[in-house]
Amino acid sequence: MRVRGRLSWGRRARVGAALAALLTGLVPPTVLLTPGAAGAATGASVCQIRDDRLTEISGMVATDDGYVVVNDGADNEARRRIFFLDDRCAVQRTVSYPSRPRDTEDLAIGRDGTIWVADIGDNDRTRETIGLWRLAPGADQPVLYRMTYPDRPHDAEAMLLDGEGRPLIITKGGSGTGYLYAPTTALKPDGTTALALVGQVSLPSTTTSNPYSFVGRNVITGGASAPDGRRVALRSYADAFEYDVSNGDVVAALTSGTPRIVALPDEPQGESITYSRDGRSLLTVSESASQPGTRPTILRYPASSTPTPTSPPAESAAAAPPPTAGSPAAQASGLDVRQFWPLMAGGGTLLALLAVGAVLWRRHTLRR
């Protein structure tokens, strides 16, 4: 048996540099970071949106004759509209806002056909108020209702309506947990309505492949209500989570129900979800601004009908207070995954380098 040899510090450095160059140049970060969901089927294409104004779609609802969509906080005035599409994704008309929206992130449709636009995005968490725009059937312009959180600003991208038509705001989260806020009184167009924390929802863990790896599986980017009100769905960048609703109590469904999971694998940047008008399908669409040369495409997935075996969400009989401003959890909840991607890629590459380096080190030092 030979005496175990040791690499000099200089040789260790050269080996490490060579490994870093090799892995960084040859291994894409997504390979290192993104585990796939076995057997997850991609959505069926419904239609492609070819209007150049619609590249940052953040909210969508289905109507009897097509779809309604909005962009998120667009700098281009032509994109700051409510867009009505036909069933082939062609724009039929648009509705302008009477004043500039801040960051429109989701849509909901009431039983009477009223369109609600959730102006709730706040990546920097600096907004003193958030807003809901209400577009009544046949109206020329939407009406703005302002609301304020009871604790601190939050970034949110999902809205649902409960059985009484009350809006429910779900924060984006960052660790798989979103906080639920609802108005304490009736909304008023000439004032600001206080919100109250009414619960929290925790997404089950999945392994569904998506462009943002584990971060994409732990943020809530959209919500949808079934036409009959008996189901609601939340989505991340990777999956949809469908909950059964009893007696119109959406808060109880989200805080104590066990969701069924519909994988939405490898959508480019999925932030929108809605039910088809017959309630049999979930429809999604992604932003396309970060994929030049591509067009947003509405995809169809079968709505789930049987529970999916999975780890249930954490019980939440009472809502825990959200993290305080400045805490690590609060900072994580405000992360934009597009800003966070370089950190994920670097971290994944570093872990891979350490693992491979450890193997080569052991082989070298254990010569016989």
- Sequence spans of domains, the chain: 44-345
Question: Is pLDDT larger for residue 253 or for residue 11?
Answer: 253
Q: Write out pLDDT tens, residues 80-109.
A: 999 999 999 999 999 999 999 999 999 999
The pLDDT assigned to 323 comes to: 60
Contact yes or no for 348/340 (Cβ under 8 A):
no
Phi, psi of 147 (to 5 degrees): -140, 160
The pLDDT assigned to 18 comes to: 39
Q: Write out pLDDT tens, residues 101-116.
A: 999 999 999 999 999 9
Half-sphere exposure of 281 (CA within 13 A, CB side): 14
Give the residue carrying structure tokens 């779809």: 67
Interval 219-236 mean pLDDT: 98
Would the pLDDT of 359 be above 70?
Answer: no
Phi, psi of 16 (to 5 degrees): -65, -40
The pLDDT assigned to 366 comes to: 42
Q: Where residue 31 falls among pLDDT bands split at 50, 70, 90?
A: very low
Interval 45-57 mean pLDDT: 96
| CATH number for the domain formed by residue range(s) 44-345 | 2.120.10
Question: Is pLDDT larger for residue 94 or for residue 313?
Answer: 94
pTM over 0.85: no
Q: pLDDT averaged over the chain? A: 81
Residues 236, 218: Cα–Cα separation, whole Å: 7
